[in-house]
Structure 1
């Protein structure tokens, strides 16, 4: 990957996103579903590692969102782009999932219509509102991350995003150490993203290393302090930190070209829609297949294939067209002539 290569055409990012999606799907279908519902199979312990695909998603998000900030001419550009990216597919996904569960049933995951309406607030789980689909919890963290990036860029300037995110994390860490209260921990997690901000920082730091070929010493020092402290505090997850750092080191040094294969880049392209719809939809399919004696591995393959099919429809019918429409409408309103077309490497 050369420096001259446009970031919007980084197939390695799509491939990484595709791998992240595969990890999460494997976790849900071959571990979590078996743990919750299956009476015929045992959960595959190795597949439990698939849950860490979320952390890899957060790293990718940090990388690409900082790129988006660099290319935003004004704060409203960033806000409109994020809303257009997240909300149309999300709204369709919650309606789709709610409808599927209502018609076909899924024990313990049924919700009333009022809960469906409340899920429109994308950070609803921070307010104690249950999700139509459990995977939506990550979107709350994404939205809060976007909020902090916007605030920092507006008040202090885009060049200070990494510095201030790292410094605030270190301050919160100290606060949690000296004032160990449930309220502070809740605020730290939901407002300051205490558990996950280090992964966003890995992405931002990697982008700066790739795009600018230099990082100021203060930024570098604080960012690595965040990662090291997080690794120490969350000792059980040390391997995911090492994995993410290693993957992004290879990315910024152009060593992941071998991932540029159609299946992975395609999954990366539809990964947001796939992430939104695969869990409960897949559980319904797995349950029906298991009830007629289908092997769990074959069932998982069928559920995955159908989820990819539905996600493809979502991408081409909802995610891409609505984002293009909203952004082109916005550009027209502020008198910008260049049309917008969806970029494959944009992330949630």
Structure 2
């Protein structure tokens, strides 16, 4: 199987549209809504530190939704980059990420300046830095707490763009992941800041495992990709078990290690089932609509949700206000998708694609 796969793929693959895996849309939405419920369930905006004790016993695990996002990204971004050059890949990612993100920064920046969503009023420099999505690298504070994950994704995209410039093949993927795992260990050993910044050690185990799972999905299971899935799983567990304070606690008491291992293992198991095609039957068209809501929901839910909680919790009561606020942020996500993403993504992508071939119109005249 490995020999057959490498014969197929050692030359850079030709661009081809992969069939849409709608189960990934469902998983992305589940990850996003779990983060939403985690934030809404844990916030003191309800007027008490534990407004929903029974619900919080479940929603507290939403903190791990971000890790599922990273697993999915490893899978999807390698799939997206396969057969593309770095320019085409970059254009697709910029058009995908920035329209909704710009809308988020402008809205939350305006609310912040007005003092409606935070006690910190952003400066003009902070607004400009956040508009670039590079604020983390520039050491400028995020306007929104969830923006930290976007820096992790951007670094991953930059690594994949460099990889695409070399030409992505099966064997090169194995070498790329092997180098990443080895350098992660080196960076930890020598405490090298530059390596730490480039290798994004928090999300790297999930990106690496997601990439390996895409190889399994595309070329079939063989030993090397499974070894990288196992390495990603092991690195993820080493990391999460060493967190201090722990990511999840119940009434201030950390959860047992066995439960944390079970949660991380479940995330990996679900993605293994995706890679093996076990979940291909989840191919309902409406899942695409759920997937479309995921990114704007993630970007807009936090500050807007807290603002709405503050307005609605007293007149409606906590139990009624919670579903109303969740419905409201879903409605905002849908509006952003329809009014911002759909019209702007295609135009931005077309403009970026034109810019990649602009030099053709300016070929030197004569000999």
**Superposition TM-score, scaled by structure 1 size:** 0.82
Q: 2:331 aligns with which of 309, 314, 317?
A: 309
Contact 2:28 2:69 in 1 (8 A): yes
**Structure 2, gaps ≥5 residues long:** 1-16, 242-256, 359-367
Deviation track 1:141-178 (CA, whole Å, cap 9, x = no partner) reads 000000111112323644323432343223322442x4
User: How far 1:105 moved relative to its partner?
Assistant: 1.3
Whether 1:39 aligns to 2:48 is yes
Distance 2:123 2:240 in 1: 37
What residue is the counterpart of 2:69 in the other structure?
A: 57
Contact 2:177 2:228 in 1 (8 A): no
**Superposition TM-score, scaled by structure 2 size:** 0.78
Whether 1:80 aligns to 2:91 is yes
Secondary structure of 1:59's partner? helix
User: How far 1:120 moved relative to its partner?
Assistant: 1.6
Greater relative contact order, per chain length (Cα 8 Å cut-off, separation 6+): 1
How many residues align? The count is 322
Whether 1:117 aligns to 2:128 is yes
**TM-aligned CA distance change 1:212 to 1:223, over 3 Å:** same
Deviation track 1:230-251 (CA, whole Å, cap 9, x = no partner) reads 3234325533431122101221
Q: 1:295 aligns with which of 317, 322, 325?
A: 317
**TM-aligned CA distance change 1:175 to 1:257, over 3 Å:** closer
Contact 1:170 1:226 in 2 (8 A): no
Q: 1:205 aligns with which of 203, 208, 212?
A: 212
Q: 2:81 aligns with which of 63, 69, 72?
A: 69
What residue is the counterpart of 2:290 in the other structure?
A: 267
Secondary structure of 2:316's partner? coil
What residue is the counterpart of 1:11 in the other structure?
A: 22
**Structure 1, gaps ≥5 residues long:** 1-5, 337-348
- Aligned CA RMSD, in angstroms, stands at 2.7
Whether 1:255 aligns to 2:267 is no
Distance 2:285 2:41 in 1: 24
Distance 1:208 1:197 in 2: 17
Q: 1:319 aligns with which of 337, 341, 357?
A: 341
Deviation track 1:1-24 (CA, whole Å, cap 9, x = no partner) reads xxxxx7442211111111111101
Larger Rg: 2
